[in-house]
Amino acid sequence: MRATVMYAAGDVRVETVPDATIEDPTDAVVRVTRASICGSDLWPYATMEPSETGQSMGHEAIGVVEEIGAEVGQVRRGDLVVMPFAFSDGTCEFCRHGLHTACVHVGFFGNNGENGAQAEALRVPYADGTLYKLPVSADDALLPSLLTLSDVMGTGHHAAMCAGVGPGKIAAVVGDGAVGLCGVIAAKRLGAEQIIILGRHEDRTTLARELGATEVVAERGEQAVSRVKELTGGHGAHSVLECVGLDQSEATAIQITRPGGKVGRVGVPQSASMPNSQTAFYANVTISGGPAPVRAYIDELLPDVLEGRIEPGRVLDRTVGLDDVPDGYQAMADRNALKVMVTP
Amino acid sequence: MRATVMYAAGDVRVETVPDATIEDPTDAVVRVTRASICGSDLWPYATMEPSETGQSMGHEAIGVVEEIGAEVGQVRRGDLVVMPFAFSDGTCEFCRHGLHTACVHVGFFGNNGENGAQAEALRVPYADGTLYKLPVSADDALLPSLLTLSDVMGTGHHAAMCAGVGPGKIAAVVGDGAVGLCGVIAAKRLGAEQIIILGRHEDRTTLARELGATEVVAERGEQAVSRVKELTGGHGAHSVLECVGLDQSEATAIQITRPGGKVGRVGVPQSASMPNSQTAFYANVTISGGPAPVRAYIDELLPDVLEGRIEPGRVLDRTVGLDDVPDGYQAMADRNALKVMVTP
């Protein structure tokens, strides 16, 4: 079968690899009908040390179950499923509490040797706990939005939940990438009264306004902080969604949170230490977040997608076939595309 | 009147100073009947740059209202009151939400030129919002425990609240100082099933056991982390109360929190950046806390003190008169005393 393999920074290839097969009785093999390239794939694309074996890429997918192991009982051959970016057993104490990304058997597709979804097919460990059957057909027009439930929409929702967004709250979203835009959707969906997006890409902030942002702050650093304070009666936002992960954006997120407010962070942190943490302390600002348990959120988000109340698929602004995945990486790295969908 | 003034690291003097007086119509003058020395007073005692004017010291007190300004209506002359370590107007939006330490008029006694409580009397700004009338007499045996409501008991409670302590939860308390011990009391009071204290002073950890700790971890660093993991089924505590503020203790606090758990930090952070913040991210650990809004907590904690269900006054293990306050500082710095009460 064909699959995407990264060998070094900037070196992504689509190659013929051994077919995905059942290895454990809890596995399924899923034939991918839609995949996508994630902002987090751009980190290795920028920095990966050369590797002879390479890393199979991709962690966002919708597909059809092609084969199941002997112990798989919740999904069947022919089911159309969405695949969260992490696999999880669905039964451990962390899964039972809705934190599937801390599952005792957790693994991340397209990372650390796990097979990836930018491929014709892939092996899905713990299929029963991981895959979510979709009540639509494989050519449904909703597929782009449903695909975002595998990562970016659930991740934006996690940021909003961790930041305590709710009716009447002022939310600020740091970052205008796909996750930030999904954060805007999530903040609106949860009832935020005011939604400020911090971003400087005009096409993206324009889309953010269409998705629910009430104000755009294009400044950075101290100027961004001042501008958000001006827009929020001098005190900052109740709920700040940190959707970037750079030191600068983490620092800004803390500075624009009002005393007693919350930062929900979903951008993978650039550094081991968090800047401005002392500032957070003096203002009793809570810092929460991490890898989103998107599997847990599908139940809640799916009806809104199916009934058209949210349209997170709008963040997918380009579609490529499998052979053109390398062009998709480059387009995202060049910021010519916001987020690329793949149709293997 | 006599008051405690610090002029430099190690240089604390009890001197005659101008009498406390009403300056603003919202002020009260309180004659101090009990004060105490706080662990946080030991920071300037260790590090203060020499100052010609000095800093009036002390932020924990019980006293009798001696004089009130024209606009003070909630407290009256002769009232016995407890004074939180911060003054607050009681009416701004942050006070109304219970975050008095973010009051738009907040100030901290014995800091930044504000007068202190290790004195015969002191001026209390925003007396109506700050002072809390006690329903006991001035010589009540409960005074030591009531005195802790001005800081350490409310601060330990804040750590526990921020850490999400509740029935059935496993709590860990980092630090065996007065705040850590009050954190143990708070964790027990909120229903924690298991309470692990991390500390290496045997007299203090013995007291911690009497106050509700179920296990003591005397190790530090990686060894402490391993030990807590052993005691908690391999995953760490749900709720970690960080009651020190050093980089090492903040790092340990994060490492001993289970995925999805919470750190409630009340130790003033040593550094601007928080170590191990990336570790917290990957485990979806929430970091919360800051200067405790102890004024907000008195309503809740007072009945338990009055009815003897909690005895936070046990952390006060030495009493000195006002003239011996400098000896009290030295005894705490030498760890010969846990916490010193002052009877002016």
**Residue B96 touches partner A, C-beta closer than 8 Å:** no
Tell me the pairing of strands B107-108 and B86-87. antiparallel
The predicted structure's pLDDT at residue A140: 85
Instruction: Inspect the interface and report whether the beta carbons of A99 and B284 lie closer than 8 Å.
Output: yes
Tell me the pairing of strands B257-265 and A132-133. unpaired
A71 to chain B, closest Cα gap in Å:
28
Instruction: Inspect the interface and report whether the beta carbons of A102 and B272 lie closer than 8 Å.
Output: no
Interface test with A, best of B243, B244, B277 (most A CBs within 10 A): B277
Tell me the pairing of strands B318-321 and A11-16. unpaired
Q: Does A268 have pLDDT greater than 90?
A: no
The predicted structure's pLDDT at residue A270: 87
The predicted structure's pLDDT at residue B256: 98
> CA B294, CA B8: separation in Å to the nearest integer?
29
Candidates B259, B271, B289; nearest CB to A284? B289
The predicted structure's pLDDT at residue A327: 98
The predicted structure's pLDDT at residue A214: 98
Q: What is the largest CA-CA distance in chain A?
A: 60
Report which residue type is found at A215. Answer: E
Residues in A closer than 8 angstroms to B268, CB to CB, are: 281
Residues of chain A with CATH 3.90.180.10: 2-151+293-343
For tokens 């953010």, what's the residue? Answer: A208
Q: Does A72 have pLDDT greater than 80?
A: yes
Number of helical (H) and strand (E) elements in chain A, helices listed first: 12, 18
A186-200 confidence digits (pLDDT tens): 999 999 999 999 999
B276 to chain A, closest Cα gap in Å:
6
A211-220 confidence digits (pLDDT tens): 999 999 999 9
**Residue A101 touches partner B, C-beta closer than 8 Å:** yes
Closest CA to A339 of A190, A153, A158: A153
Residues of chain A with CATH 3.40.50.720: 153-289
- State in words which class domain A2-151+293-343 has: alpha beta
Please list, in sequence order, all residues whose beta carbon lies within 8 angstroms of the beta carbon of residue B209, skipping any fewer than 6 positions away: B216
The rounded percent of chain A whose pLDDT value lies above 90 is 95
User: Could you tell me which chain B residue has the CA closest to the CA of A242?
Assistant: B281
Tokens for A185, please give them: 């959707």
Instruction: Inspect the interface and report whether the beta carbons of A260 and B288 lie closer than 8 Å.
Output: no
Q: Which residues of chain B are under the pLDDT cut of 70?
A: none
- Tell me the three state secondary structure of residue B268: coil
The predicted structure's pLDDT at residue B146: 98
**Residue B73 touches partner A, C-beta closer than 8 Å:** no
Fold of A153-289: Rossmann fold (3.40.50)
A79-124 confidence digits (pLDDT tens): 999 999 999 999 999 999 999 999 999 999 999 999 999 999 999 9
The predicted structure's pLDDT at residue B337: 97
B244-300 confidence digits (pLDDT tens): 999 999 999 999 999 999 999 998 888 888 888 899 999 999 999 999 999 999 999
Interface test with B, best of A158, A284, A297 (most B CBs within 10 A): A284
> CA B287, CA A105: separation in Å to the nearest integer?
25
Model pTM above 0.95: yes
A6 to chain B, closest Cα gap in Å:
24
